Amino acid sequence: MNLEKICNQVIPIVERSGRFIRQELGRVASGDVEEKGLNSLVSYVDKTAEHQLVEALGKLLPGSVFFTEEDTVENQSGDLQWIIDPLDGTTNFLFQLLVFSVSVALQQEGQTVLGMVYEVNRQECFYAWKGGGAFLNGQPIRVSRRAPLSQSLLATGFPYHDYSRIEQYFKVFEHFMRHSRGIRRFGSAAVDLAYVACGRFDGFFEYSLNAWDVAGGAFIIREAGGAVTDFRGGTDFLYGGEIIAANPAIGREMLEVIREAFG
The CATH number of residue 209's host domain is 3.40.190.80
Question: Does pLDDT of 95 surpass 90?
Answer: yes
In the listed set 141, 167, 196, which residue is the last one of a domain according to the structure?
141
Question: Does pLDDT of 38 surpass 90?
Answer: no
Residues 59 and 7 in one domain: yes
CB atoms within 10 A of CB 138: 9
Q: Name every residue whose Cβ is closer than 8 Å to that of residue 191 and which is 6 or more positions away in sequence.
A: 88, 89, 99, 100, 101, 117, 119, 217
**For position 117, which CATH number holds?**
3.30.540.10
pTM exceeds 0.95, yes or no: yes
Give me the domain span that covers residue 43.
3-141
Residues 135 and 7 in one domain: yes
Residues 45 and 97 in one domain: yes
Question: Does pLDDT of 28 surpass 80?
Answer: yes
In the listed set 117, 141, 165, which residue is the last one of a domain according to the structure?
141
Question: Does pLDDT of 37 surpass 90?
Answer: no
Residues 155 and 49 in one domain: no
> pLDDT of 112-163, one tens digit each?
999 999 999 999 999 999 999 999 999 999 999 999 999 999 999 999 889 9
What SS3 state is found at 16?
helix
Residues 105 and 178 in one domain: no
Residues 94 and 221 in one domain: no
Our count of domains for the chain comes to 2
Question: Does pLDDT of 10 surpass 80?
Answer: yes
Q: What is the pLDDT of residue 71?
A: 81
pLDDT band at 84 (very low <50, low <70, confident <90, very high): very high
pLDDT band at 173 (very low <50, low <70, confident <90, very high): very high
Q: Say which residue, 75 or 199, is predicted with more confidence.
A: 199
pLDDT band at 77 (very low <50, low <70, confident <90, very high): confident
In the listed set 99, 116, 141, which residue is the last one of a domain according to the structure?
141
pLDDT band at 209 (very low <50, low <70, confident <90, very high): very high
- Strand positions, DSSP E, the chain: 34-37, 40-42, 65-68, 80-88, 101-108, 111-119, 124-129, 134-136, 139-141, 153-156, 182-184, 203-207, 227-229, 242-246
Residues 174 and 135 in one domain: no
Residues 137 and 153 in one domain: no
Question: Does pLDDT of 191 surpass 80?
Answer: yes
> pLDDT of 199-208, one tens digit each?
999 999 999 9
